[in-house]
Amino acid sequence: MAKKRSTTKYRRRDFLKRAAVGGILTTAEGLSALPATAEGLSAPKDAPENATPSFSPFAYPRIFTGSNLNMIAFPLGGIGTGTISLGGRGQLRDWEIFNRPDKGNSPDYAFGAIWAQVENQESVARVLESRLTPPYEGSSGLGANNVPGLPRLEGATFTGAYPFAQIEFQDPKLPLRLTLEAFTPLVPLDVDASGLPVAVLRYKLKNPNSVPLKSGLAWSLQNPVRIEGRQATFRRSERVAGLYMENPFLPANEPLKGSLVLGIVDAPPEGVSCLRGWKRALWWDGPLSFWDDFTTDGALDSNSLPLSPIGSIAVTQSVAAGGERSVTFFLTWHFPNRTPARCGWTPPTEKTKDWWWEMPIASVFATPGRWPHFWRRNYRRSRLAPVSSGPR
């Protein structure tokens, strides 16, 4: 009698993640040898001046500048966890972490900022994005919630080679060289390490001057967990610090019940400051109050009262002459509930449209006290996530 072949059973989620990781490796190997040219990229040096354009594979890595930055949305997020996309200018866009496709969705006031000062010189501050570009769409032009009136960096060059994206910023008035490396850990054949709900933003600073400079980097974000009752708390453990955003008043089966953390890893404890909430003011004085606070010395007034649901966290440090430093921000999320009504499914009956299912996403933030262990056990062991050589 023939013996049955032994088989390994996988849950659907594990199968999808294994298949996706394998697909990434196969695709990368298959594309690495392709000759490539594309509009907006460098053309072959020996191409005739009047050559007829022809369709061909793109060149890798993909490099974009100028108007080609407008439509870039580089996905950040583990397999099966949802994504937050990095735009070509350095902004975050398309926050699709709430269990449904949601292109164009973004919390208000989600932006980074940099402050730098060379000894005995005037300081320079910029939003951590290249300049806004047309078309300036919307019922009120540029709007107000993306702080369009604050100064931005002059230009950017985007290089994409999934799962890594790199942006080199240019600004002649900024007294340092600034680069962003964004990624989500994807480890070949490691399902758990490749399915983390996290987006990592590592900013690298290089001081080309012959004297030291002082720098400050900050990230701000409005708490997206509904409206009434949302709050943020500041937490620190070992080399990790962050703002834990939640809404404890939501019922357990609410589709947007969950949490999000805006944090920093491997930052010097004495250099971390935060605002658990901006000042609540008339019109748009909230962003201006934040900007006045941050641009004074590259730090934030951590003792101020949290009066609004918009929080900020910053790292202030010195960079030696000719030296380099880096600051690693991260965003991680836990929104496990799904309902047909929110996700757009057709329910079997009218009564089942609000039934909810808890997604089997292993979240380190389901229990708030566990969140510092996330980086110790996963981020630092990831072979695709290089870390600083500082103390562990």
pTM reported for the whole predicted model: 0.79
Average pLDDT over residues 105-132: 94
Q: How far apart are CA 77 and CA 97, in angstroms?
A: 9
Cβ–Cβ under 8 Å, residues 111 and 220: yes
CA 122 to chain centre: 30
Q: Which of 181, 216, 225 is nearest to 199 (CA)?
A: 181
Structure confidence at residue 192 as a pLDDT band (50, 70, 90)? confident
Q: How far apart are CA 221 and CA 62, in angstroms?
A: 29
Residue 260 · residue 336 · CB < 8 Å: no
Tell me the one-letter amino acid at 306: P
Establish if 43 belongs to a structural domain: no
**Separation in Å, CA 105 to CA 42, 57, 78, 110, 250:** 33, 31, 19, 11, 21
Domain count, the chain: 1
Q: What range does the domain containing 358 cover?
A: 12-36+59-379
Is residue 115 situated within a structural domain? yes
Mean pLDDT computed over every residue of the chain:
79
Amino acid symbol at 23: G
The sign one gets for the Cα dihedral 378, 381, 382, 385 is positive
Residue 384, domain member (yes or no)? no
Mean pLDDT, residues 62-80? 92
Lowest mean pLDDT among 71-80, 83-92, 222-231, 342-351: 342-351
Bridge partners, 168 (sequence order): 157, 179
For residue 90, being part of any structural domain is answered with yes
Q: Is residue 40 pLDDT above 50, yes or no?
A: no
pLDDT confidence tier of residue 216, bands split at 50, 70 and 90: very high
Q: How many CB atoms lie within 10 A of CB 88?
A: 26
Query: Tens digits of per-residue pLDDT, 263-296?
Result: 998 878 789 999 999 987 677 788 999 999 999 9
| Residue 262, domain CATH | 2.70.98.40
How many residues are present in the chain?
Answer: 392
Classified as helix, coil or strand, 241 is strand
d(CA 111, CA 182): 15
For 235, the token pair is 């937490």
